[in-house]
Structure 1
Amino acid sequence: MKGKRKDLGQANCGIARALQVIGDWWSLLIVREAFGGKQRFSEFQKSLGLAKNILSSRLKKLVENGIFVIEPDPDSALSHLYVLTPKGEQLHIILIALWQWGEEHCFEPGELDIAMVDKPSGQPLAKLRLLAQDGRALGSRDFRLTRAGA
């Protein structure tokens, strides 16, 4: 029997609070589809194959957390559009980081037959890098948490 998820909304950790908003896979896949141009409930449902009740609850949570806003659908008085907010648009970096990690670690050589590319040039994206304030590339052990202002 599944227990209720712990509420991370008050955690003193940016990762925990972010996961409270976008931490389940369906939410990130919905955002991925929005970056691909989908805005209508039916478009999300068709592309993801997600049960309507689950899609509805995830979209509601994403709206409540300011990832999407609901706007009138100019093509139909009976429906509306889910439009990414600036806060939602900033998730592009998370999606690219997940894509690049998955591309490297979740496929056999030659198995992945699509690539994430730069729209204007059609060239594959450069590997994301974490940089220090002075521009140095940081590795996986080159950072730490500290109190703000310390």
Structure 2
Amino acid sequence: MTLAQIPLQTLDGRPTSLADYTGKAVLLVNVASKCGLTPQYTGLEQLQKQYADRGFTVLGVPCNQFGGQEPGSAEEIQEFCSTTYGVSFPLLAKIEVNGADRHPLYQQLTELADAAGEAGDVQWNFEKFLIAPDGSAVARFRPRTTPEDADLLAAIEAQLPA
């Protein structure tokens, strides 16, 4: 099964998949509302605004596996993201990214190595995976890589279809 074929749900419960983003570069990020890295939402929203008209989107994936830092309901997550950070990019339903109940999306994504050549479990909230317009995972950035990082920006620009 390709990444695009894996069934997902939007934060409000509608079915979706990465196939809905075919032709776009996607930065998929596991997010959390009560994390020390939560201020990265500001930079992620800036990326969304900067590149959306060039065939790009951020896609947030709430996860509560790291220190219980995303405990809220879908409604609470949506309200926090929109009122605190003005998030306009899509958010998916909360899923698990590691362990026995790891979502099939992350079963495939975690096989991708980062710049240091390390694959495996997601380290913490705000780990980033860049998906090319053809639906393939092309780059992985660890949680402390900020949305403003030069290597991340170069990778995004290299994948922009327009």
Tell me which of the two structures has the higher relative contact order, counting C-alpha pairs closer than 8 angstroms and 6 or more residues apart: 2
**What is the TM-score with the length of structure 1 in the denominator?**
0.31
**What is the TM-score with the length of structure 2 in the denominator?**
0.29
Relative to its length, the structure with more helix (as a share) is: 1
